[in-house]
Each structure stands twice: as structure tokens, then as C-alpha cells.
Amino acid sequence: MTSGEVKARAAELGFDLCGIAPVGPFKELGFLQAWLARGYAGEMDYLRRSAERRADVRAVLPSAQSVVCLGTVYNTDRPYSTEIAERGAALIARYAWGEDYHEVIERRMSELVTWMRERGGPGVEARAYVDTGPVQERVYAQYAGLGWIGRNTCVINPDLGSWIFLSEIVSNVPLEPDAPALDQCGTCRLCLDSCPTGAIVEPYVLDATRCLSYLTIEIKDGIPIEEREAIGRHAYGCDVCQEVCPWNAQPPGPDATGSPWLPRAVFDGPSIAALWRTPDADLRQALKGSAMARAGVWRLRRNVAVCAGATGDADALAALREVDEPTCDDPIVAEHVHWALEVQGD
């Protein structure tokens, strides 16, 4: 089996990018330990627990000889959050609008692994991961030539930009590696200057505890009071440091019919008030099988309540007072609602 054959099969299965990284002690793999030591992971204990395994893919597959890195573009033609002027708009990160990428990409990868086993015989050992495995995906993607790690810490492909999910197949097949991608950030600093919370503390280094993506997705219980105002309209995740990036300035092609990344109706440009007024049952249905499913309805409500308080949008505040769905009575949600009304002088 050759690298070229693997890439051709990956393209047939719908992957937009495929490159091969060698297995090795890349210096970038060492940054994780320093990053953790600075406390940048916050509550994400799973990163600390798996740090040793993340230092080398041979920890998950001792016989590993190559990493097939895959990229899947998830952009759609909807406007960027930086183009939406309404104060009462609820901003949801575009990766979360459509189908759960873990499921979509896992299915495609499992077909690729099956094909590799058929081609390579019973001796082929392979582990496939998308996001949740103990692999530093951006480092391998960079060494596979998919793109460089930009100052906003995202992997950027010179032709496709950075709206790309990463996934990989670690295997014992000795595939011919690609050349690593070269940094093309040049003198630009737009992402650092645009981050609403200054979370990119120095080029290429993100303090997750200040990132809106962490604050709205990773924090399991109550959002720290001192962070709530900064959340603004960001109801789930944040895309600002990618939206301002010149490598994402090119308009996307027309949306493919049936693209799994198109927004579900509830998440297609909603206002904060409209999200809050959506009944629990409808929210539950909209979250089912989406990348936000793990958040559950109550955590989404927690975030939406913060958006109402942080923006002071009158319709959103009215909605907080009117609606009484079961998840509004959750003690954590109720506390965030109380905060929102209080901070706006209600």
C-alpha cells in the first residue's frame, strides 16, 4: 500500500485533505507539558491525565510507523459572527451547527481502516481518532503537511483556511511521509488583537481558561461570575480568531446539498431571546446527534442566560422573565438567570 493509494481512497471517502506524518519526538509535542504547567488547561483534567500518552503516538500503538492525517472542511456560506451586528444575536461556533463531526468522521475513518486492512493484510494494526483520542492532532497535521499551526493555534491550510476538523489513523504501515507545512503567518497579528478576552497570551499560545470556547463549553457547572460579562453574545464556542484570519477571507464554495455541516434550523442565526423561548423538547431534539449534544439543554440555557445578562438585550431579558420550562428550574441555570437580571438592574 502506498501513500498515494491511501490519499486517493481518503478523497473518495469525502476527506478534503490527507497527508502522512512520520512518527517521531517532534519538539512541538513537548509544548503540552509547559502549557499544562502554566495552568492553561483549567478544568480539563483529561489533558493532564493523558499528557504522557499525548507525548508520542507510540504510547497508544507501540508498533506505529506512520500517522495518516485527515482534514474535513466544515465551513458553510453563513456569515461570520464578526459580520453580525445585532446586539441580541446568539453566536454559536460554526463547528457545532450541524451533525456531530465525531460520528460523521468516525464512519468515514472506519471505512478507510477497513480498506487499509484489506490492502495490507491481517498484520495491519491501526487506531483511528477524531478529537477525543490522546493525540496532539495539530502537531501531526502540521508534520503531515495539512497546514501550519497559526498564531491563533489553529491548523491553517494555505488553500482551504482553518475551518477544518482534524482526525488521524495511527498505524504500523510504513507509509512515505509528506513534508511538514511551513508557517505563513508572516507579520500578521490580527487574531491576537481581536480575541475578545486576550486569551492568546503570546503568539501560538492560548490560555484556555480565558478562551470563550472553554468558558461556554468546557466548564461543567457554574461559569465564574468575573468571566460572564466577557462572554457577550457567545452562546456556544467562539470563532473570532479564525474569522479575522486572512487565510479564511476567501468565500466558501456553494454549500453541498445535504452537507452535514449546514446548521439545524434552531441554530441557524437565532437571537438570544429565540433560543431561550425554544421549549426544552425542541432544544433536546435539535441537540440530538449534534456536536453540542454533550452540553445538554440545561448547559445551553446556562450560556444563553449569561448572554442575556452580558448584552442587556431587552427582548432576551424579557424572555428570561417569561419562560418557565423545566430546565429553567435547574439550580445552576436559575442562578445564571438571577445573575443576568440582577446585573441589568432588574
Active site amino acids? 131
The CB density around residue 298, as the number of other CB atoms within 10 Å, is: 19
Separation CA 59–CA 65 (nearest Å): 12
| Residues in 197-216 that interact with ligand B12 by CB under 6 A | 204-206, 208, 211, 213-214
Residues contacting 320, CB < 8 A, separation 6+: 276, 305, 308, 337, 340, 341
What would the grid cell of residue 82 be? 464578526
Interaction partner, residue 245 (ligand B12, ligand SF4, none; CB < 5-8 Å by kind): ligand SF4
Which of 10, 18, 32, 245 touches ligand B12 (CB under 6 A)?
32
Q: Does 195 bind ligand SF4 (CB under 6 A)?
A: yes
- Measured distance CA(147)–CA(206) in Å, rounded: 18
The distance from CA 331 to its chain's CA centroid, rounded to whole angstroms, is 28
Residue with cell 445564571: 336
- Residue 328 beta carbon to ligand B12: minimum distance, rounded to whole angstroms: 25
**Ramachandran sector of residue 238 (left: φ over 0; alpha: ψ -120 to 50; beta: rest):** beta
**Per rule CB under 6 A, count of chain residues that contact ligand SF4:** 24
| Residue 201 near ligand SF4 by CB under 6 A | no
Told to check if 217 binds ligand SF4 by CB under 6 A, we report no
User: Residues 6 or more apart from 136 whose CB is under 8 A from it?
Assistant: 28, 29, 32, 54
Residue 150 interacts with which of ligand SF4, ligand B12, none, CB < 5 to 8 Å by class: ligand SF4
Q: Between 178 and 207, whose beta carbon lies closer to ligand SF4?
A: 207
Sign of CA dihedral 306, 311, 317, 319: negative
Q: Which one of ligand B12, ligand SF4, none is in contact with 188 (Cβ closer than 5 to 8 A by kind)?
A: ligand SF4
Shortest distance (Å) from residue 150 CB to ligand SF4: 3
Q: How far apart are CA 167 and CA 195, in angstroms?
A: 26
Q: Are 305 and 114 in contact (CB under 8 A)?
A: no
Q: Which stretch binds ligand SF4 (CB under 6 A): 82-90, 189-197, 286-294, 316-324?
A: 189-197
Q: Is 232 in the site for ligand SF4 (CB under 6 A)?
A: no
Please identify, using beta-carbon distances, which residue of 19 and 150 lies nearer to ligand SF4.
Answer: 150
Beta partners for residue 292, in sequence order: none
Distance CA 227, CA 273 (A): 21
Q: Interface with ligand SF4 by CB under 6 A: which range of 113-121, 126-134, 195-203, 217-225?
A: 195-203
Query: Interface with ligand SF4 by CB under 6 A: which residues?
Result: 150-152, 185, 188-191, 195-197, 199-200, 206, 211-213, 238, 240-241, 244-247
Binding site for ligand B12 (CB under 6 A): 28, 31-32, 35, 44, 93, 95, 130-131, 135-139, 149, 152-155, 162, 164-167, 204-206, 208, 211, 213-214, 218, 237-239, 241
